[in-house]
Amino acid sequence: MPRSEMNITPVRHASLGLDTYTQVTSPIRRYTDLLSHFQIKAHLRGDDLPFDAETLKELVQAVSSTAYESVLVERQTNRYWGLEYLRRNSDEVWNGLLLRWLREHENLGLVLLEDLAIELAMRFTRSSTWAIGWN
């Protein structure tokens, strides 16, 4: 699925089959939801909207890029510490589940280590049993 996009106008949601779609959740969850609540409450009270369209566009763009960067940093950090844990515990044997082939012709698959909640791309030889070690 493609990454979600934020905009100040409702757009089509292909997966749900809707011509127009918007999302607003708890104002303590995301900053853009807080902005939306400000706008909705002002509209319902009959007050002037706190943000004009241009200001909202700028805020959403700034927040979107910052949120995307923070997600990337979080993923990289989790991956680093997962691999570091495996390195420090290289004598352990972990049960893995081959989720799917990434490039089957190169014996590269996506493996899930359930006990650690980590997915890793692994290259290995095919046989009836596999022993995979990290060194």
Model pTM score = 0.55
pLDDT band, very low/low/confident/very high, at 126 (cuts 50, 70, 90): low
Task: Report CA 19 to chain centroid distance, whole Å.
Answer: 24
Least confident of 14-23, 83-92, 100-109: 14-23
Confidence check: pLDDT of 130 > 70? no
- Domain ranges (residues) in the chain: 1-88, 93-135
How many residues are given for the chain? Answer: 135
> Is pLDDT at 110 greater than 90 in this prediction?
yes
Residue 16 to residue 104: CA distance in whole angstroms: 33
Angle between helices 31-45 and 53-88 (to 10 degrees): 150
Could you tell me the pLDDT band of residue 135, with boundaries at 50, 70 and 90? very low
10, 25, 41, 44, 118 from 38: Cα distances, Å? 17, 13, 5, 10, 39
50-93 pLDDT per residue, tens: 999 999 999 988 888 888 899 899 999 988 998 999 999 999 99
pLDDT of residue 12: 82
DSSP H helices, 89-119, are none
In this prediction, residue 128 has a pLDDT band, given cuts at 50, 70 and 90, of: very low
Residue type at 32 in one-letter notation: T
